[in-house]
């Protein structure tokens, strides 16, 4: 198992990879990955912990709480001292009467944040969180994945919702607080109110646009956990051009899986000889690349079954050479895949 990494100023040391739960949240909601088997999901969580993963990232929005319930179920029989750190998020809600297959609201009023926290604690079966994060900036409008969204008159100002998060930290309900999907300008505004313990941006070899936020975090002793380091499955090495995604899989209508797919798969093919040099899986190379980026503490990786974890856990101990990094940078340049700087 790889050496633990200092998670900013939180006092926590975490493994380079954490278990993510979006993929196990089940079907019947707007951003589902398709149907899943709850028994397999619980087994996957326990297997990740058995393999040394010491943190789990989830969110109240995943399956409208279902993912948090599965985490609570998986950890129920594990002694407190042996449990992984628990990280979750608030800010995407479906109001009574809303269609779960429709978009949630981006709401961060003080009352809503506190209400969501109590619900998450109940589902997770704990009385505190190790990290509580704002999922997306508030707009007071419906959420569309990947869209920034302009604040409406109903939006809670950032300074107001971040003060509530700081209050929860002071009250001991949460150990650390973080911001997911916030840009540098928003991070600066939050830092003026209270220290930002952690950020969670998307980041992978195919999506490198969060480099400025990661650099900001490094300069402010802020931990960084990145999501989608395998670009929603594209960098596993198992995705093919003829794979058909289910009708209830959110990925089926996104450009990276449609018009951009040939370019993305060409880059994945360029990773295969690098993986072969190390006797590793393509997914492990992609994860080692992401976690080698200066300022990144860890990366969130999902799995539906225990065997999927065995396909990426080796990245904990994989160190890419300078030549590997040069080859990956050259492949990004040659294929034109993704955007952002091409080398750590």
Give the CATH number, domain containing residue 229.
3.20.20.100
- Quick check: is 341 in a domain? no
- Quick check: is 267 in a domain? no
What is the spatial distance between Cα 14 and Cα 25, in angstroms, rounded to a whole number? 24
- Quick check: is 335 in a domain? no
pLDDT at residue 116 is higher than 70: yes
Check: CB of residue 272 under 8 Å from CB of residue 332: no
pLDDT at residue 49 is higher than 80: yes
DSSP string, 244-270: ---TTBGGGGSGGGTTTHHHHHHHHHH
The percent of residues above 90 in pLDDT, for the chain, comes to: 82
Query: What is the CB-side half-sphere exposure of residue 230 using CA atoms within 13 A?
Result: 29
Name the residue range of residue 223's domain.
5-238+281-319
Give the model's confidence band at 96: pLDDT under 50 very low, under 70 low, under 90 confident, else very high. Answer: confident
- Give the strand pairing for 131-134 and 55-57: unpaired
- Quick check: is 258 in a domain? no
Check: CB of residue 36 under 8 Å from CB of residue 66: no
Contacts of 231 (CB under 8 A, 6+ apart): 204, 205, 206, 207, 256, 264, 286
Distances (CA, A) of 100 to 17, 67, 92, 111: 30, 15, 12, 22
Q: How many domains does the chain have?
A: 1
- Quick check: is 106 in a domain? yes
pTM: 0.95
Tokens of 182: 């916030």
pLDDT digits (tens, 9 = 90+) for 51-78: 999 999 999 999 999 999 999 999 998 8
Catalytic residues: 62
- Quick check: is 114 in a domain? yes
- Quick check: is 54 in a domain? yes
């Amino acid at each position: 198992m790889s050496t633990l990494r200092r998670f900013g100023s939180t006092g926590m040391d975490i493994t380079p990879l954490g278990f993510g739960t979006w993929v196990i949240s089940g079907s019947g909601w707007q951003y589902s990955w398709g149907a899943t088997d709850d028994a397999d999901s619980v087994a996957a969580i326990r297997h990740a912990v058995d393999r040394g993963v010491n943190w789990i990232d989830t969110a109240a929005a995943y399956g409208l709480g279902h993912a948090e319930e599965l985490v609570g179920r998986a950890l129920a029989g594990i002694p407190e001292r042996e449990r992984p750190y628990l990280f979750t998020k608030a800010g995407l809600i479906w109001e009574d009467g809303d269609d779960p297959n429709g978009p949630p609201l981006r709401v961060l009023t003080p009352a809503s944040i506190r209400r969501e926290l109590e619900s998450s604690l109940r589902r997770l079966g704990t009385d505190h969180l190790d990290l509580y994060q704002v999922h997306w900036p508030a707009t007071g409008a419906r959420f569309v994945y990947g869209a920034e969204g302009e604040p409406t008159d109903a939006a809670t100002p950032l300074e107001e919702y971040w003060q509530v998060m700081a209050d929860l930290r002071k009250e001991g309900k949460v150990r650390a607080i973080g911001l997911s999907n916030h840009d540098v300008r928003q991070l600066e505004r939050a830092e003026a109110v209270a220290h930002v313990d952690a950020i969670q941006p998307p980041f992978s070899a195919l999506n490198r646009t969060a480099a400025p936020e990661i650099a900001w975090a490094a300069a402010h002793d802020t931990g960084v956990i990145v999501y989608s380091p395998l670009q929603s499955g594209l960098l596993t090495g198992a995705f093919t051009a003829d794979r058909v995604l289910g009708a209830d899989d959110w990925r089926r209508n996104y450009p990276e899986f449609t018009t951009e797919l040939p370019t993305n798969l060409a880059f994945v093919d360029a990773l295969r000889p690098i993986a072969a040099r190390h006797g590793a899986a393509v997914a492990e190379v992609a994860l080692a690349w992401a976690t080698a980026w200066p300022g990144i503490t860890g990366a969130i990786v999902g799995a539906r079954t225990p065997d999927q974890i065995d396909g990426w856990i080796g990245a904990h101990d994989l160190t890419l050479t300078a030549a590997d990094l040069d080859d990956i940078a050259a492949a990004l340049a040659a294929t034109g895949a993704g955007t952002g700087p091409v080398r750590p």
